[in-house]
Amino acid sequence: MLDKVLRNGYSCVPVALSEGLDIKLNQAVRQIRYHSKGVEVLVSSARNFNNPKTFKADVVLCTLPLGVLKQSVGSSAVQQLPSSVQFVPSLPEWKSSAINRLGFGNLNKVVLCFERIFWDPSANLFGHVGSTTASRGELFLFWNLYRAPVLLALVAGEAAAIMENVSDDVIVGRCIAVLKGIFGNSAVPQPKETVVTRWRADPWARGSYSYVHVGSSGSDYDMLAAPVTPPSAGSTAAAASAAAASQDPAAAPTSNGVPRLFFAGEHTIRNYPATVHGAFLSGLREAGRIADQFLGCPYAPPAGVPTAPPTTAATE
């Protein structure tokens, strides 16, 4: 797998994809209701939860980060957090179990903007090895961005968790100390601007990327990708338990109706998890699935037309 850096930053991707779309910003999804007739999504201002609005549709495509999904299927106390989303009815056992099993990691970044370049401008990146096991994920990699006086440092694992509770000044100071250890005290100036991420603490993310946790498997990505059909009176708890035990999305209990709740995101694509292109491809996958369901498969033959030429059996 190759890592690539977009010349004009990642923001140019959603800006291009959102052209012509009516996107509601600063709107928090509070509740998703799904039933045999369609869906209702309750939203409110991200800062003021009064006077929620309701959007009605045939289906809903849920792209909530895995960390927010985990929060939304957690304990009742966790579900009361402002960024939690309530599903009505609750997600089936096979879906919530897959959400809980799959891991959601944390990778934080420190962006350092300087007046001048003091490192090798031809190098795409350079590394740093911590002196202790606990610090091995601390500032272990520095990206040279855009051939400009900007470095992006990565913090992972236990170090990323510790970083969430430390001030920006302390983190930037540690970065400067590491850089001085590499290039010398006199070569490294103070940065003129810095940005520090804290993805685990961000209530609208609760982490960075999915991964296969102990007790989970690649099949959980398939479970997370599977759409949910509103339950019918004939659905039984035993059927739900059997589907959860099999970890097979094809075994998920459904009613005689059609799926109304669809899922996309990097945590729903088995072959390309934890990637931007994986998230993008999962959106295309679900758009095709929804279109096939409501518009019909464009490659399906007309009614009455055989899908294959008739065959005859030879006998001796």
Reading the block at residue 76, the tokens are: 């009742």
Does 253 reside within a domain?
A: no
Do 111 and 97 share a domain, yes or no? no
pLDDT value of position 240: 47
Q: Which residue has the higher pLDDT, 52 or 47?
A: 52
The predicted model scores a pTM of 0.84
Segment 241-246 shows an average pLDDT of 49
Q: Are residues 94 and 218 in the same domain?
A: yes
CA 95, chain centre distance (Å): 16
> What amino acid is encoded at 269 in this protein?
I
Same domain, 75 and 151: no
- Report whether 200 contacts 65 (CB < 8 A): no
pLDDT for 310: 52
Which helix (H) or strand (E) is 97 found in, with range?
helix 93-101
User: What's the pLDDT score for residue 296?
Assistant: 85
Would you say residue 59 lies in a domain? yes
Best mean pLDDT range from 2-6, 71-75, 111-115, 234-238:
111-115
* The domain boundary residue, chosen from 196, 222, 246: 196
Average predicted confidence (pLDDT) for the chain: 88
In this structure, are 131 and 96 located in the same domain? no
**pLDDT reported for residue 248:** 55
60-115 residue pLDDT tens: 999 999 999 999 998 765 667 778 899 999 999 999 999 999 999 999 999 999 99
Angle formed at CA 143 by CA 154 and CA 121, multiple of 5 degrees: 155
Of residues 309 and 299, which shows the higher confidence score?
Answer: 299
27, 44 Cβ separation under 8 angstroms: yes
Amino acid code (one letter) for 179: L
Neighbours of 209 (CB within 10 A): 19
Residues 6+ apart with CB under 8 A from 290: 59, 61, 262
Give yes or no: residues 98 and 216 share one domain.
Answer: yes
pLDDT in tens, 168-183: 999 999 999 999 999 9
Per-residue pLDDT tens digits for 127-157: 999 888 878 999 999 999 877 899 999 999 9
Per cent of the chain over pLDDT 70 is: 84
CATH of the domain at 172: 3.90.660.10
Note whether 31 and 97 are same-domain residues. Answer: yes
My answer on whether 32 and 46 are in the same domain is yes
Do 112 and 158 lie in one domain? The reply is yes
> Has residue 245 been placed in a domain?
no
Q: What is the pLDDT of residues 196-206, one digit of tens each?
A: 999 999 999 99
- Beta pairing, strands 86-88 & 27-35: parallel
pLDDT in tens, 260-308: 999 999 999 999 999 999 999 999 999 999 999 998 877 766 676 665 5
Report how many domains make up the chain: 2
- Name the token pair of 16: 């291009």
Same domain, 29 and 86: yes
For residue 73, give the CATH number of its domain.
Answer: 3.50.50.60
Asked whether residue 313 is domain-assigned, the answer is no
Distance CA 164, CA 199 (A): 8
Residue 244's pLDDT band (cuts 50, 70, 90): very low
Domain holding 43, by residue range, is: 25-102+212-232+259-295
Let me know if residue 113 belongs to a domain: yes
Q: What percentage of the chain has pLDDT greater than the value 90?
A: 70
Asked if residue 94 and residue 55 are part of one domain, the reply reads yes
CA dihedral over 63, 282, 245, 59, signed as positive or negative: positive
Place of tokens 């590491």: 178
Q: What is the DSSP letter of 189?
A: P
Same domain, 188 and 227: no
Are 72 and 220 members of one domain?
A: yes
